[in-house]
Amino acid sequence: MKYSISIVALLNYKHAGVFNEIINLIYFSFKNLGLDIILSKKIEKDRRNIIVSANLLRYKKNMSISDVKNFFPKDIILYNAESAEQAEHFDSITQAFLLEYEVWDFNDYNAKLLNDLKKKSYSFIKSRPLENQIKKLLS
């Protein structure tokens, strides 16, 4: 399987750089595992895409929850970087994206919330080496 990792980019979003460390961590972990991964600024049709900062999708104007199902390819992985404990950042559009696609998450609270909503979620940047967690997620 080939992979691509990219970020949801918002024009003039002052905090966009905070996601670079997450992207690099995932990218180099995949490389260390010998997996084929590229950095990209778009959805790659011939690869399984990992999108970082999926929480920023809520800023896409005029999007309804029904639009979410057709927004990305079905096999996409969303890396959520927003805490559900901050309700204003975990609105209905964000939840719709997270419930529609596979989610990798940094936060145990988020993973529990999404699992309670009957969606498979993963919390994976913890004390174990990331490569071991990625192998488990991809198996």
Residue percentage of the chain with pLDDT more than 70: 76
User: H or E stretch including 101?
Assistant: none
In one-letter notation, the amino acid at residue 34 is G
What is the phi/psi pair of residue 96, to 5°? -60, -45
User: Which residue has better confidence, 58 or 131?
Assistant: 131
CATH classification of 2-138 is 3.90.1150, yes or no?
no
Q: Where do the domains of the chain lie?
A: 2-138
Q: Model confidence at 27, in pLDDT bands (50, 70, 90)?
A: very high
Q: In what order do the strands lie in the sheet with 48-52?
A: 36-39, 2-7, 48-52, 77-80, 102-105, 121-123
127: pLDDT strictly greater than 50? no
Q: What distances in angstroms separate CA 57 from CA 6, 8, 84, 93, one per listed residue?
A: 13, 7, 15, 8
Residues in the chain: 139
